[in-house]
Structure 1
Amino acid sequence: MIAMRQLPILATMLSLAVLPATALASGHGGGGEGGGISLVEMKPIDVPIVEGNRSDARLRLKLVLRAADAPGAAKITTDMPALREAALAGASEFARLHASPYVAVDAEMLVHDLTATLHHRDPGITAVLLVEVVASAA
């Protein structure tokens, strides 16, 4: 039986399960001419969850950035250091305001916040896909 607090994470993982495995590995997916999806994987992010004056928990996440096309994916790859910095700042802010190791992470809110942050940094990013998220005591 799946606990209610695990449903947002499970829904995100199931939505990613429909993507072909080659889409992530090659950076392209989808079908037809010009109809492909370009995906760029970001290195895992690990930020502290600060509660009061203590930081004895961590928020860990893995993201994949979706671009509209292959040139957009190439630009994302080139700009990855700046995008990673923005993602770290966004994840840190989310962890400070909304994360706890004792409550399920609101994956929908996290994706919304990170998509807005990263799209502002690079308008070629059409979506941020949350592949994994874990909030745990350190």
Structure 2
Amino acid sequence: MPDRFTPQERSRIMSLVKGRDTKPEKVVRSLLHAMGYRFRLHRNELPGKPDIVLPKYRKAIFIHGCFWHGHAGCRRAARPESNADFWNKKIDENMARDKKAQAELKNSGWDLLVIWQCEMKDLEKLRRNLNQFIKGEEIAEND
């Protein structure tokens, strides 16, 4: 199916997509703050510029949109059929960049957590997972 927008309209729409201070980021930041944790945002000097950094604990948190970062098995990550070559390249590059940055962070002694957009529905579970992650406890998959 062809794009229903002109290239100029599509460009304008895409330029409005935010890369930081998104609603999911704000939800996680609010939870962390309410739990008493203090953090830094988008630290340039760290690989991948994590969305949230807790330097005291050497923890980094990435909040990924399922579409933009290619969340495997998620319905929100379905790739568009129109302009497929462009989107496949873009998302594959995002995934490769994420993988590289995360490996560099781990090799530097940082623990990291990736929170996917689709995991934001259950805030109590998200709060538990954040607390377990920061305390260094294993996060239960079925939790």
- TM-score, normalised to structure 1's length? 0.26
Pick the structure with greater CA Rg.
2
Structure 1 or 2: more strand by fraction:
1
